[in-house]
Amino acid sequence: MKKFNNIFTPLTVKTMTIKNRIVMPPMGTNYGGTNGEFTEEHIKYYEQRAKGGTGLIIIENVCVDFTMGSNGTTQIRLDHDKYIPGLYKLTERLHKHGACASIQINHSGASAVPARMEGRTPVSSSDIPSKTGGAVPRALTKEEILDIVEKYAAAAKRAQMAGFDAVEIHAGHSYLICQFLSPVYNKRTDEFGGSIENRARFARMIIDAVRREVGPMFPIMLRVSAEEFIEGGNTLEDTLEILQYLNDEVDIFNVSSALNDSIQYQIDAMYLEDGWRSYMAKAVKDKFNKPVITTGNIRNPQVADDILKEGKADLIGMGRGLIAEPNWANKVQSGKEDTLRKCISCNIGCAGHRIGLNRPIRCTINPDVINEDTLENRKVNKQTNVVVIGGGTAGLEAACTAAEAGSTTFLLEQKAYLGGLAREIAKLPAKDRINDFPDYLINRAKNLKNLITFTNTTASVELVENLKPDVIINATGSKPLLPPITGLLDRIDKQEKIQSIFGLIKNVEMFKNLDLKGKKIAVVGGGAVGLDVVEFFTEKDAEVTIIERLPVLGRDLDIVTKVQMMTMVEENKVNVMTDTSLLEVKDNSFKVNRDGKDQEIEFDYGFVCLGMRSETPILASLQEKFADTGVEVINIGDSLRARRIIDGTQEGRYTTINVLEKLNLI
């Protein structure tokens, strides 16, 4: 068994001893009650990560000044003593499992939403919105600044009374303190603006006020955006200078990055490598010789251990990674690395739900982020045979779930390998992290003795009937949507110049090796897949045109991916043609209509990415064969309707459980 001694070495900071170096950093959830209180569901969510061995859990940002400082649809609050009892119940539960607990105190400033503030104008250092298109705030008066300082101090004292082991002050990510620290936002000319010392003054006052309230031995943490990745924003060198004014009385620096308009470097985009941000933490650690937390797509235990060994950081922050895998620390410590459900950084169920849709967070690869995912107490009550057709991620999740519930399960896959569309998309260089999900599912399946997998096997009604099923789960996926456009079906994937996404994937190695500088690439379809194709070819210095029938690109993307993709499009000067319809596919061009005028878009390579449609080759035959037999036939994932991986994962888990319950088998 591989030992990761650096990860599992305790760390003491003043009165707090953390049992290992794994930290759950603060992430909004939308699990809070409508009045800012902690709910039982919310406590269970954090408790799962404590049970899973996490050393330090930092509770998501809590409002110190409601409503003016509110953030999130159902943000928790700490602006009144009435919230102390609920938070104490939380810390009791976390401490019971050996985890330390901190909480992040925050005022959102210009990031607050006026509709949630009874129409009042948000406040900030100046009148600069916290993001492109955001509400225009008003500048705080000096009296208001002093009042907010005291609200931070009062919230910190309440956190201490609620049993927390430390408190974190949020000074990054385009929230109020950051709006003073960053020259992007701060245009003041008084003692709170201009020079670095002046811009740091508000944060300095808050740190001092918090220390006054919590005493000398209670750890204070400070989260900062060390690199803002915005033109005119703070660089790492600027932040190191700022922290000279903030260092006193800070015990741990939580080193993050980015502002709202560079959110792909805060909530890390998929393509960013494990531990990519650790250079920032090392710079802070080297300058101030204090414990630092680093975050940044860290999924691999060896990467985490190496960061600690090389002195780049003292603590490893793993946010979305612990949403996906609450038991990360325990699994790594017990040598079960191959069973880790590693976050794929898709940002759909977490950031996409919370920021973009005001929903409670979910996870693409973890179908239940609140409760333990064991089925130990939910087993079938008699011999039950389940046949799953299709070995993509939805089918694998369904097959594993059925087997874990005690069913004898047969998984039929026509290809030589498992993983489905996820495995195909992961062949694109920027998407290779997706491989971690089918890898996890395949390892999970291998450990289930009652799950028998057949690859290179085309399902037929006869074959399924011979397996004597009680339940049949169809998960046969999807294929490209190819409407009856003149010339499309005659040419796509039948000649090298015109391809679908599957054509690109099939030939990806060829395209990697081609010199495409200056070559003309035309992509029809401005959704997620089309933008993936654009990203691939812009990295090859091709001249890319994207054609989309709708007025905007990436309409259904999560907020992080959308910002990332729009930045990519702008930086690479992609020719964007929205409100444009494809009329005809020719050998070397697309005929399109824009603003009522027909145009020819010439290309060296053309790609048509108009979405996917369900594929159900034998579903109707199965339904006919097993009608009125008591055998349940269900359809899940993309074969029900082409969507995202998250939908198939949910259905693979819960539709399977529900049908077993419906048949009174569990």
Q: Are 604 and 520 in contact (CB under 8 A)?
A: yes
Give the integer Cα–Cα distance in Å for 222 and 181. 13
Residue 253, SS3 per DSSP = strand
3-state secondary structure 602-642: ECCEEEECCCEEECCCCHHHHHHHCCCCCCEEEECHHHCCC
Give the integer Cα–Cα distance in Å for 9 and 224. 25
| Phi/psi of residue 264, nearest 5 degrees | -65, -15
Torsion on CA atoms 646, 74, 298, 223, rounded to nearest 10: 160
As given in the structure block, the two tokens for residue 416 are 């030589």
Question: Which residues are registered as beta bridge partners of 599?
Answer: 592
Give the integer Cα–Cα distance in Å for 192 and 145. 10
Q: Which residue do the tokens 């089925």 mark?
A: 375
Distance between alpha carbon 122 and the CA centroid of its chain, in Å?
A: 27
How do beta strands 589-594 and 597-602 pair? antiparallel
Residue 67, preceding peptide bond in cis (omega within 30° of 0): yes
Count how many Cα atoms sit within 13 Å of the Cα of residue 361 in the half-sphere of its side chain. Answer: 28
Give the integer Cα–Cα distance in Å for 174 and 450. 51
Residues annotated catalytic, as ranges: 175
Count other Cβ atoms within 10 Å, centred on residue 371: 11
Angle, CA of 629, 630 and 636, to the nearest 5°:
110
Give the integer Cα–Cα distance in Å for 490 and 530. 21
What letter would DSSP give residue 355? Answer: I
Give the integer Cα–Cα distance in Å for 422 and 433. 10
